[in-house]
Amino acid sequence: MDRSETAQSKPKEGPTAEGAVSCSAEGCGRAFTTFRGLRLHMKRAHPATFEATKKPIVNQCWENMEKILLAELEIKLSRGTVLVGVNLW
């Protein structure tokens, strides 16, 4: 078996071993040795369930007041040295 055949092989299936993770989708009894393998299976075999269990991406943005407070703190800590040409908001 060459390398390309190995890459195309199905993930190992079988009875749930100690430390293995099983697919929780109804009617699916596949077990995986890694959580990553389970998530890949969920994405491909059960896309609706996968989408429902994904964590939302959170983009934290600084509010203007937080930017002002940080700028004031920076000025205070730098003992009055001001950065010229820096737009904080």
- The strand pair at 21-22 and 31-32 is best described as antiparallel
Sign of the alpha-carbon torsion through 24, 30, 34, 36: negative
Q: What is the value of pTM for the model shown? A: 0.46
Query: What is the per-residue pLDDT across 4-29, written as a single tens digit (0 to 9) for each?
Result: 554 444 555 444 456 788 998 889 98
Select the more confidently predicted residue: 33 or 15.
33
Nearest Cα neighbor of 34 from 49, 23, 44, 43 is 23
Query: What is the per-residue pLDDT across 66-86, written as a single tens digit (0 to 9) for each?
Result: 888 888 888 888 875 566 666
Residue-level pLDDT at 34:
92
Select the more confidently predicted residue: 62 or 37.
37
Alpha carbon distance 37, 73 (integer Å): 47
Is 36 a residue whose pLDDT tops 70?
yes
